[in-house]
Chain A
Amino acid sequence: MIRIRFLPPFAMLALFLVSGCSSHQEPAALQGIAIQALAGIRGQEETAPPMTRQNGFLAVSPQLVATTNDPVVGVVLKARDAQALLTPSGQSGNLVTWLSADRASFTFTGGTILVRTSGLGNDLQNADFSQLLTVMASGQSGAAQREHVYLTRDFQQKRQVFACAVTPMGRADIRIAGREYSTLKFEEACKDDNEVFTNTYWLDGGTGLIVQSIQWIHPNTGRAYFQIIDK
């Protein structure tokens, strides 16, 4: 499926100017500009086999999981109708960065609590949710401030502070890639002057990891559905 965007004259001129080819200069990836494929996370063709979704999450089959020795994260960007399987690509302390086949990356801590995105456009550069972790550890409801830093299109940092209310939603038994998890579910309802969103986390009692989550990233990116399949 393809979708053609409205191109203002400035962009059409730009398209004309980059429509050449050369031995040294890189052509702009034209298919990524005028026509946007819907499959991959970055708007490019997804190489993995197509997968269905369940409750918004990527339905990863146990058979697929059996083909790899690495842990994987399934991600769905609902507003973009995009999905991908991520594999770990690096670690810095307790932060783990996961990469998609078309080279978008997500950095998580504690399983799937999102710290950074790369390659999505309007990327989240950093997130501070230390108060969320404190409230979750207490098991009670509580207020928690959340801070996001975005890199703007003119390469400046833009900080956004959200006032959030964290609420434990009780026990929830979930199934990821055929495996049962007994989790505690939490909701984090956040708002600032412009945005209102709710993140949901499923905390696995066994490992203490957030094995499943729904998190808001940016107005243009929307919400992401994450599931971690640890080996």
Chain B
Amino acid sequence: MNKLGRSLCALWIAGLCVQPLYAQNAPLEFNTFGMPGVIDTPSASSLPDGMLMFTGFAMQRSWRSSLTFQALPRVTVALRYSDVDRLSWRARTGTGLRDRSFDIHFRMLDEGRYTPGLAIGLRDFIGTGAYSGEYVVASKTFSPQLRGSIGLAWGRLATQGTFSNPLGVLSDRFRDRPGGYTGLGGRIEGQRFFRGDAAAFASLEYQVNPDLSLLAEYSSFAYEGEGLGQRRRTPFNVGFRYRISEGATIAGSVIQGSNVALTANFALNPRVATARGTRVTAPAPILIRPRTAGQTSWPTDWTDQTETWETALTQAWAPVFVEEGMRLGSVSLEENRAIIRVENLRHEILSRALGRTARISTYGLPPSIEEIVVIPTTNGIEGTAVVINRSALEANEFEFDGAKRILAVTRFEDPLGFSGGNRFWQPLWSNTPAFSWSVGPSLDLSYFDPDAPVRADIGVGLGLSYNFAENLSVNVDATQRIFGNIAGGSIGPPTPGYPRVRTNSLLYSSSSPVIRRATLDYTFRPMENLYGRLSVGLLERMYSGASAELLWGPANSPFAFGVEFNTLQQRAPESLLGTNDLRINSWHASGYYSFGDGFNAQLDLGRYLAGDTGGTLTLEREFANGIRVGAYATLTNMPFEVYGEGSFDKGINISIPIATLLGTPSTTRYTTTLNSITRDGGARVRISNRLYPAIRDARKEALRRNWEAVLQ
């Protein structure tokens, strides 16, 4: 070990008697790989739980962009796309080696008063492995400002100052590291882990103030392939990190005494998403019914004039609902119960829309009405009936745990139980707008093309829909590209023995107007807890046909189950409405489960577009403010060698309600899927109005998590 390494050890010992306390409002600790660390080396820290962050790193002839997610308090994962400037590659292809990589970092031990924190990490552990390496690192805080780490690395992270693998004492097989990768990549290369020569690294991080940190490290990572080998002057890197604003940090460093590197980091914490919090207008205070002491019931003689009440309520109410960002669908009144159907057009959190509906209801409802049944609708689908107790609402608006007390007496039921037979339940007034439209920008992104990390088409989108009834509609979605470069991407090789079902998707980017969707959609309720959907027409950009779905999903159950059948024909890329000869039948059975606390799983089993059969497992973390981050993998009977690059389909789904970014309420979401490469195996048809997404936010499990917003 060199001199700095020795002095670090001395500091470590000195640090044993110092209180381990890092400043509370600590800046993000990330390295040039977008993972917990210093400059190039890792440290045994974690990001705040749930943190989502983008890190861009640029150095002469090399760049990396990393998307990082603190999936669990101890587990950090990252997806990276980088240009590794291997000289041999540049000579052959004119660019560096463009490579995707996955990392996982696990903080095993927390720092104690005398003991360091300990973390273990796998870098680029799936597939071709240009960055493939592993590490074990220990970190100790010496004072609120100073923190040091030392560790051991293997693989590409051990490319300078190497020595024979200490694990060699356990078994000789640790002494050599196998090169290359299995098949066409995309698989976990476990046989490489912690094998071959090892090297030590060490770092110091000094926090000058909450925004500025100074960094120094002895690195074991040599940038061998990046052409730095010749110009390397020292194994030391120095740098700084500076926080510009709550979500933006820049870092600069001098790598190995010869190269200047810049890192920019944009962080979004789903648990603290905007600087100011959502600034929604103040609600109307809950109106309390005047009552004499102990009074619990009120006269019901008003029921003789229900029609008068309904007319008065709906006409006076409807504008108030509009002001609160909702559309009042219908009102039905019974002696002790009101049934109110609403569509939420503003609130990113359904709990808030329910609360505001209930608040408005306290104005003007006959006093004998004790149960306020709010039925939120999405695309004409009624997800749940939330039965709110009016007395509980009146009593708890200003209680410290008022929302919890209201929840304790709130019931979540099937809305089917509140329609049909009863003479009171036929709404005398309803408000379904027949025609609606939207105009806005359209943005298509295509990731990880070999020539361009991100390709985009930007244009104008037009949406039209006509409702024949609440549950029968025609929906058209068309776009006109203004500019973009998706069509310039390269089309991947075909899948031997299978039709081109997705590899030809670039052909569908067009400079002329495109109809993305033109469907006749019908939703129905065959029986309690069961939902149905039929869609016919141009289902998506690449496929037309018919799709039928049934979903069993009780409002108060964490479990749902669905089946879907599609009979499809591939659309002709160049024609507005035409199709080509490819006919496909696909089907899936899907199970959905909420573990609680925002962890959700979905398993789909069935027949995919290319005729391959298998399953997709999706694991998702959903935050109380609606941000969702998930990962999926699809395994089918299509052999890995036939599938092509990556061996099987896998990727990351991100969905962000824009309200959490802007602090202004809105139901708009930005949703994207990052998958490494688009192939034909494991592909599904895209249906815009699948049933589970329409009911998931209305389920008890989802509402319970942000229920505090019911009084917001």
Contact = CB atoms under 8 A, between A and B. Distances in A.
Interface of A: 6, 8-11, 13-29, 32-33, 42-43, 89-93, 95, 97, 99, 102-105, 107, 115-116, 118-123, 125-126, 128, 149, 151-157, 220
Report, nearest first, the 7 A-B pairs whose CB atoms are least far apart.
Answer: A20-B440, A90-B285, A22-B438, A118-B282, A105-B282, A103-B281, A119-B282
B658 A17 contact: yes
Given A8-B247, A13-B670, A14-B662, A21 B438 contact: yes
Interface of B: 54, 244-245, 247-248, 266, 268, 270-288, 325, 327, 345-346, 349, 351, 394, 397-401, 433, 435-441, 443, 461, 463, 623-625, 656, 658-668, 670, 705-709, 711-712
A102 B663 CA distance: 16
Best-surrounded residue of B285, B401, B437, B624 (most CB of chain A within 10 A): B285
Given A8-B248, A33-B664, A122 B277 contact: yes
Contacts of A13: 661, 670
Given A121-B663, A157-B708, A14 B438 contact: no
A25 B282 contact: no
Nearest to B664: A28
A121 B439 contact: no
B443 A16 contact: yes
B286 A121 contact: no
A146 to B, nearest CB: 13
Contact of A28 (B248, B268, B666): B666
B661 A14 contact: yes
Contact of B279 (A14, A32, A105, A115): A32
B286 A18 contact: no
Given A20-B441, A92-B398, A153-B277, A104 B282 contact: yes
A33 B656 CA distance: 17
Contact of B438 (A8, A25, A91, A121): A25
A194 to B, nearest CB: 8
Contact of A6 (B245, B270, B660, B667): B245
Given A23-B435, A92-B285, A157-B708, A8 B274 contact: no
A28 B668 contact: yes
B283 A118 contact: yes
9 contacts: A20-B441, A23-B438, A25-B667, A26-B325, A26-B666, A33-B662, A119-B279, A152-B271, A155-B349
A153 B274 contact: yes
Contacts of A23: 433, 435-438
A21 B271 CA distance: 29
A119 B277 CA distance: 10
Scoring A15, A43, A154 by chain B CB atoms within 10 A of each residue's CB, the highest score goes to: A154
B441 A119 contact: no
A154 B623 contact: yes
A153 B271 contact: yes
A22 B284 contact: no
Contacts of A16: 441, 443
A5 B77 CA distance: 31
Contacts of B664: 28-29, 32-33
Contact of B266 (A9, A18, A32): A9
Nearest to A88: B285
A80 B440 CA distance: 33
Contacts of B284: 89-90
Contacts of B268: 10
B286 A90 contact: yes
Contacts of B346: 26
Contacts of A157: 401, 708
A43 B247 CA distance: 22
Given A14-B658, A116-B398, A154 B443 contact: no
Nearest to A33: B662
Contacts of A220: 275-277
A23 B664 CA distance: 19
B279 A153 contact: no
Contact of B439 (A14, A15, A22, A156): A22
A8 B670 CA distance: 16
B708 A156 contact: yes
Given A28-B664, A156-B624, A128 B400 contact: yes
Given A6-B245, A153-B273, A153-B274, A24 B279 contact: no
A118 B54 CA distance: 33
A157 B400 CA distance: 9
A43 to B, nearest CB: 7
B279 A152 contact: no
Given A33-B663, A156-B624, A107 B398 contact: yes
Count chain A CB atoms within 10 A of each CB in B400, B661, B666, B706 and give the residue with the most: B661
B662 A11 contact: yes
A18 B282 contact: no
A99 B282 contact: yes
B160 to A, nearest CB: 35
A28 B272 contact: no
B438 A17 contact: no
B283 A22 contact: no
A135 to B, nearest CB: 21
A156 B272 CA distance: 11
A27 to B, nearest CB: 8
Contact of B662 (A28, A92, A103, A151): A28
Contacts of A103: 281-282
A86 to B, nearest CB: 10
B678 to A, nearest CB: 22
A175 B287 CA distance: 34
